[in-house]
Each structure stands twice: as structure tokens, then as C-alpha cells.
């Protein structure tokens, strides 16, 4: 605490936009720290999951609706892109440009968010969680089963790469180097963060948080809870559409096994670890888990093999997510980097208790 204080007073002088710019510049430079294809690919995937986490954060963190089937929207976004930007349909396939499909895929995902949300959002919190879980099981299974349209277990491959072109002047086609993808994902994240930080203070954002705290009270204050919750679902789903496009285009493949229940929980664990409802927290939580999943555990396994220990750490990843979920909920439910407000809410009981104890002291003093 003592050492953190001067740093905090230093950072406090920088305006929020300046901080964001510094972080963004650092993120731009990140691939060059250790420039190779594998590392950049890791960064693209991690960035895609940051987008997913930011999207789920709207639903879970802001509106307080536990969505356990978020991977379904991710799947819908990815498959929308895959079907419309690949040789999959007809003699030559459909080849719409990536930049258009970003909007199309997130739109389709949002529509599905509304379709699922409209009938289910009036359910109580835990029932909603189960319905979304069921939906999360149905969607990948359906993509698996409808093999004449979706390629079944093999999925859809050889997806188009994005092209940046100015008519007649020049055209840049994304190649094997994932670096342009990284910058694309970074741009999408910047957009998402900008959108979200504006949303949170907006009428809609405050309505979400009111619903999270007390739905009944929010409804009595005149908030239309159904449309507000639907907006959260649609907005969250549309983010996963963006992530789906970017990740599918980079991987050039979609298949049903990329969207299992585990993925939904993986993203949820990112929120729980970082701090639900807080944008920096969500980003940090997401990066920690991505690093753990794709760098630390595989590297650690290699290291252990190197010193003669035949232990596969990667097979423990779900144990680690499980422990994170349980331990965070028990000991630090507000996450590693909470928003001040959320922290206050979650510890309201303790604060009440302290206040009560304080009152009791005053009372005892007064009596004696």
C-alpha cells in the first residue's frame, strides 16, 4: 500500500483519455517485443477473447444477467462470417468483404440475442442461467448436425482473408502474417471500450445497473426492464459477433468444437477474475487467463518435460478455472480490479456491520 500510493498520485494526474492512449500505444508495440508469427497469433486470439469478455461483461457485469451460453452467440457470429466469406456455398461460394461482414455478423448475433432473450428474460436469474446454458448446448450441436449447410464436425474452412482496398488505387490482402489481424482486433477493442465507457454512464447503462441491483425497484422507478435487458443481450451478442469474425478470419476455420460450454465458462472466469462490470478489470482478467491458457501452461509443461518430469499442466486448465471461480467468489467477489461502486455493493453487508458496531460503541459510550 505504501509503495503503491506515490504511483497512484502520479497516474491520477493523467486524464483518462491520455491513459487510454498510453495503453493503446503500448498494445500496438506489443507484437514487436517478441516478433514472431506464433506470438502474434497468440495476441490475436487473446484480443478476440478480450472482445468476448467485454461483450459478456455487458450482460453479466452491467445488467447482472448470468449468461452461461455466451459461446452460442460467438458461434453464430463465426458461422455467419464463415458462410458468407468462403467457397462453401454454390459453385464459387459467397465472398462478401470482411469489413461488411463485421456489421452483418454482429447484427445476426444481436438478432439471435433478442430471439433468445425476448421469451426468457422475464425468468428469475438462475433460471435464465439455465436457459442460456441449454441454448449454449443446442447451438453448437445444431451446427454439428446440420452438416449439409455447416460442414458438420469438419466445419467450414478456407475462409476469406480481409482486404483493404481503395478502388483502383491499391489493395492490401491480409496474408499469413497475423500482424494486420492484431491491429484489426486492437481497433475493434478500442471501439468496444469507447462504446462501453460511454454506455455505462448513459441512461441505458444506469438502467442496467439499477436492474442488477434490484429489478423490482428498478421497474418501479419506471425502467422498462424487458427492453433494457434485451438491449444488454443484443449488445453483448453483437460484441461476440465482432470477435467471431476476427478470430474466424484469422484461423480461417470454424468448427463446432470451438464453441463448447467450456468456452462460455472460460470467458465468465475472465470476468470473475478481473472484476465484473469494470472495463480495465475485465481486460486484465481476460489477458491473464489467455496467457495462462496459451503461454504459461504449455511452456510450463515443456519446462517440466525438459527437467524430466512428465506432467501435463494443460490438462489441468479446467481445474484452474474452477478454482478461480470458487476462490474469487469466496474471497474476492469484486475481482482483482473492481470498480469502486461494485466493491461497495458487494461489501455492503460488512460496511453495515461496521457501521452498526460503531453505532453500538457510540451508544455504549453515551450510556456510561
Partner 1 sequence: MDLFLQQVVNGLSLGGIYALIALGYTMVYGIIELINFAHGDVYTLGTFFSLAILTLLGVTGVVTGPALILVVTVTILGAMILCGLTGVIIERLAYRRLRNAPKLAPLITAIGMSFILENLMQYWKGPSPMSFPKVIPNPTYAAGPISIQAKQIIVIVLAVVLMFALQAFVTRTRLGKAMRATAQDKDAAQLMGININTTIALTFLIGSALAGAAGFVSGVYYESTWFFNGFAAGLKAFTAAVLGGIGNLAGAMLGGFLIGLIEAMTTQFISDQWANVVVFSVLVLVLIFRPSGLLGESLPNKV
> Exactly one of 84, 133, 156, 245 binds partner 1 (CB under 8 A); which one?
133
Q: How far is the CB of 152 from partner 1 (least distance, A)?
A: 10
∠ CA 201-215-68, rounded to 5°: 85
Indicate which single residue of 322, 357, 359, 363 sits in contact with partner 1 (rule: CB under 8 A).
322
* Position 166 contacts partner 1 (CB under 8 A): no
* Cβ–Cβ under 8 Å, residues 76 and 139: yes
Tell me which stretch binds partner 1 (CB under 8 A): 4-12, 78-86, 138-146, 352-360: 138-146
- Residue 309 binding partner 1, by CB under 8 A: no
Identify which of 20, 227, 309, 133 has the alpha carbon closest to the alpha carbon of residue 301.
309
The three grid cell numbers given for residue 54, joined into one nine-digit string: 467485454
Write the CB contacts of 166 (distance below 8 Å, at least 6 apart in sequence). Answer: none
Q: Is 313 in the site for partner 1 (CB under 8 A)?
A: no
Q: Which residues pair with 253 in a beta bridge?
A: 157
Q: Which is nearer to partner 1, 144 or 190 (CB)?
A: 144
Taking CB under 8 A as the rule, does residue 26 contact partner 1? no
Size of the site for partner 1 (CB under 8 A): 43
Min separation Cβ 266 and partner 1, Å = 10
List residues bridging with 173 in a β-sheet.
163
Tally the C-alpha atoms within 13 A of residue 270's C-alpha that lie toward its C-beta: 31
Residue 41 contacts residue 66 (beta carbons within 8 Å): no
Q: Is 319 in the site for partner 1 (CB under 8 A)?
A: yes
Cell numbers standing for residue 143: 451446427
User: Coil, strand or helix: which one is 95?
Assistant: strand
Show Cβ contacts of residue 328 under 8 Å, excluding neighbours closer than 6 positions.
272, 273, 335
> Under the criterion CB under 8 A, does residue 321 sit at the interface with partner 1?
yes
Nearer to partner 1, 11 or 141 (CB): 141
User: In a 3-state reduction of DSSP, which class is residue 96?
Assistant: coil
CB of 125 to partner 1, least distance (A): 5
Does position 311 interact with partner 1 (CB under 8 A)? The reply is no
Q: Which of 25, 38, 100, 323 binds partner 1 (CB under 8 A)?
A: 323
Residues that bind partner 1 (CB under 8 A): 60, 64, 66, 68, 119-120, 123-127, 129-131, 133-135, 137-138, 141-142, 144-145, 216, 261, 265, 268, 272, 315-316, 318-319, 321-326, 329-330, 333, 346, 349
Amino acid at each position: 500500500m505504501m509503495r503503491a500510493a506515490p504511483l497512484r498520485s502520479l497516474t491520477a494526474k493523467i486524464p483518462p483519455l491520455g491513459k487510454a492512449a498510453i495503453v493503446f500505444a503500448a498494445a500496438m508495440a506489443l507484437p514487436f517485443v517478441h516478433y514472431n508469427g506464433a506470438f502474434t497469433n497468440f495476441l490475436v486470439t487473446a484480443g478476440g477473447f478480450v472482445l468476448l469478455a467485454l461483450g459478456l461483461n455487458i450482460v453479466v457485469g452491467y445488467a447482472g444477467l448470468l449468461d452461461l451460453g455466451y459461446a452460442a452467440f460467438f458461434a453464430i457470429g463465426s458461422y455467419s462470417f464463415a458462410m458468407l466469406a468462403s467457397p462453401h456455398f454454390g459453385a464459387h461460394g459467397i465472398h462478401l468483404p470482411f469489413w461488411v461482414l463485421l456489421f452483418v455478423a454482429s447484427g445476426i448475433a444481436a438478432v439471435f440475442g433478442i430471439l433468445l432473450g425476448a421469451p426468457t428474460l422475464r425468468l428469475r436469474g438462475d433460471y435464465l442461467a439455465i436457459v442460456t446454458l441449454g441454448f449454449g448446448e443446442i447451438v453448437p450441436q445444431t451446427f454439428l448436425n446440420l452438416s449439409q449447410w455447416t460442414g458438420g464436425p469438419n466445419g467450414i474452412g478456407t475462409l476469406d482473408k480481409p482486404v483493404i482496398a481503395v478502388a483502383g488505387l491499391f489493395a492490401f490482402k491480409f496474408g499469413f502474417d497475423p500482424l494486420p489481424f492484431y491491429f484489426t482486433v486492437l481497433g475493434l477493442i478500442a471501439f468496444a471500450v469507447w462504446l462501453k465507457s460511454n454506455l455505462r454512464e448513459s441512461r441505458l447503462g444506469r438502467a442496467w445497473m439499477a436492474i442488477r441491483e434490484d429489478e423490482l425497484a428498478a421497474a418501479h422507478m419506471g425502467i422498462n426492464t424487458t427492453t433494457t435487458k434485451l438491449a444488454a443481450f443484443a449488445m453483448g451478442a453483437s460484441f461476440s459477433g465482432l470477435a467471431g469474425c476476427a478470430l474466424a478470419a484469422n484461423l480461417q476455420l470454424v468448427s463446432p468444437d470451438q464453441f463448447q460450454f467450456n468456452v462460455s465458462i472460460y470467458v465468465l472466469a475472465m470476468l470473475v477474475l478481473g472484476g465484473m462490470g469494470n472495463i480495465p478489470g475485465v481486460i486484465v482478467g481476460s489477458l491473464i487467463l489467455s496467457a495462462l491458457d496459451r503461454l504459461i501452461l504449455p511452456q510450463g509443461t515443456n519446462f517440466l518435460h525438459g527437467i524430466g518430469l512428465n506432467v501435463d499442466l494443460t490438462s489441468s486448465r479446467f481445474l484452474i478455472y474452477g478454482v478461480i471461480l470458487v476462490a474469487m467468489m469466496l474471497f474476492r467477489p469484486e475481482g482483482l480490479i473492481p470498480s469502486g461502486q461494485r466493491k461497495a455493493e458487494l461489501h455492503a453487508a460488512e460496511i453495515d456491520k461496521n457501521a452498526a458496531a460503531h453505532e453500538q460503541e457510540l451508544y455504549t459510550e453515551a450510556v456510561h
